[in-house]
Amino acid sequence: MPIVLLDAPSNLGLMRPASDREPGVRFAPWQLRRLGLAERLGALDGGHVEPPPYDGLRDLATGVLHGAAISRYALALADALGLPLERGDFPLVLGGDCSIVLGCALALRRRGRHGLLFVDGHRDLLRPEATTHAAAAGMSLAFATGHGPNLSTRIDGHLPLVAPADVLLFGHRDADRWYDASLLAVANDAMRSLSLDAARRIDIDRAFGQRMAAFAGCGIDGFWLHFDADVLDDRVMAAVDARQPEGMTADEAVRLLRAAVSSGRCRGLQLSNYDPERDPGLACGRVLVDILAEGLDALRGPVAAVDGDGAPGEPVE
């Protein structure tokens, strides 16, 4: 299955890091490609979807920073994902901030019932009226599951883009107090959810594997994998907007990607929130390239695998 890189350098969902600057996540696709991501993955080039300009203004209709522009961008990104998805390729969308999940979810929503594996240090279930910054990145899962202003949730006539029951939240280590009680109830009751702590109390691979199997078999046609760089441990991934202590190791992330891909249901992946401007030595960028290259290695191919008996195996599709 060919991997196709598609650049989605939208920073519209984050607030300014300083009054005279835009969020640096817009440089992530360029930096990851410079670090050899395409070569490491054997990936094809799927091009670039240019976001609307960053004006730093809160949209009156939605109360969300760049609210209308983010919905417009979701349409453009979903359109651009049409060709690789129809061809059966595996799109790897390089964000950008987490609000790009709306375009990815829309692309799959147009093609049937799809789930969302939401791997993120945060649950991204904020409400615009409950924050002062009104930045959509922290609301991305709320919007994708139909919670929020109409313009942000009903995109191209689809509401919700993903049913809450078709979401598997994994790896979060954020505090309940950030979220509205009603949205927490959606996360706790309607969504499948496994926090990093809960997974580690059992055994992270076994706990995730069980949830993954139940999720992949719940009646969905496939799922999108949302991977926020901030799910990773702060000691290896400081180049993100909303840092938190601790997090997943690079090895755990590789095993997670492998488990998701080997389910046979993962239709594509988005990497969000890597900010090269917070990564002066590029160590964080290199970690991400390594994780993606190792985690998606089963998609590379065809390669002549060798099984335990030393006999040639089947090419990996």
Nearer to Mn ion, 171 or 276 (CB): 171
> Does residue 302 have a cis peptide bond before it, meaning omega lies within 30 degrees of 0?
yes
Segment interacting with Mn ion (CB under 5 A) among 32-40, 156-164, 188-196, 227-235:
227-235
Closer by beta carbon to Mn ion, 84 or else 171: 171
A 10 A CB-CB count for 161 gives 28
CB of 137 to Mn ion, least distance (A): 6
Counting Cβ atoms within 10 Å, is residue 265 exposed (0-12), middle (13-18) or buried (19+)? buried
* CA pair distance 119, 230, nearest whole angstrom: 9
Looking up tokens 């939208």 gives 10
In whole angstroms, how close is the CB of 249 to Mn ion at the nearest point?
19
Cβ distance to Mn ion smaller for residue 80 or 229: 229
Stretch that binds Mn ion, among 50-58, 119-127, 174-182, 188-196 (CB under 5 A): 119-127
Report how far residue 298's alpha carbon sits from residue 219's, in angstroms, rounded to the nearest whole number. 24
Tell me if 228 contacts Mn ion by CB under 5 A: yes
Tokens of 317: 């599709």
The DSSP element (H or E) to which 106 belongs, if any, is helix 101-109
Q: Which is nearer to Mn ion, 120 or 233 (CB)?
A: 120
Considering only 33-41, 94-102, 175-183, 211-219, which stretch makes contact with Mn ion by CB under 5 A? 94-102
Of the candidates 98, 248, 261, 288, which one interacts with Mn ion according to CB under 5 A?
Answer: 98
**Interface with Mn ion, residue 279, by CB under 5 A:** no
Q: Is 105 exposed, middle or buried (0-12, 13-18, 19+ CB in 10 A)?
A: buried
Question: Which one of 89, 120, 233, 241 is in contact with Mn ion (CB under 5 A)?
Answer: 120
Cβ burial, residue 128 (10 Å; 0-12/13-18/19+): buried
Q: If binding means CB under 5 A, how many residues of this protein chain bind Mn ion? A: 4
When asked if residue 12 is in the footprint of Mn ion (CB under 5 A), the reply is no
Site for Mn ion in 20-59 (CB under 5 A): none
**Contact in structure between 261 and 246 (CB atoms under 8 Å):** no
Give me the numbers of helices (H) and strands (E) for the chain, helices first please.
11, 8
Strand ranges inside the chain, DSSP E: 3-8, 44-48, 90-95, 114-119, 167-170, 192-194, 222-228, 266-272
Beta bridge pairs of residue 6: 93
84 or 224: whose CB is closer to Mn ion? 224
The distance of closest approach from Cβ of residue 270 to Mn ion in the complex, given in angstroms and rounded to an integer, is 10
**283-295 and 250-262 are packed helices; what angle lies between their axes, rounded to 10 degrees?**
30
Q: Is 124 in the site for Mn ion (CB under 5 A)?
A: yes
Shortest reach from residue 203's CB to Mn ion, in Å = 25
User: What is the smallest separation between the CB atom of 122 and Mn ion, expressed in angstroms?
Assistant: 5
> Does residue 174 touch Mn ion according to CB under 5 A?
no
Report in angstroms how near the CB of residue 45 gets to Mn ion at its nearest: 26
Question: Which of the ranges 149-157, 176-184, 228-236, 292-300 carries the binding residues for Mn ion, by CB under 5 A?
Answer: 228-236
Burial class (CB in 10 A: 0-12, 13-18, 19+), 86: exposed
Residues that bind Mn ion (CB under 5 A): 98, 120, 124, 228
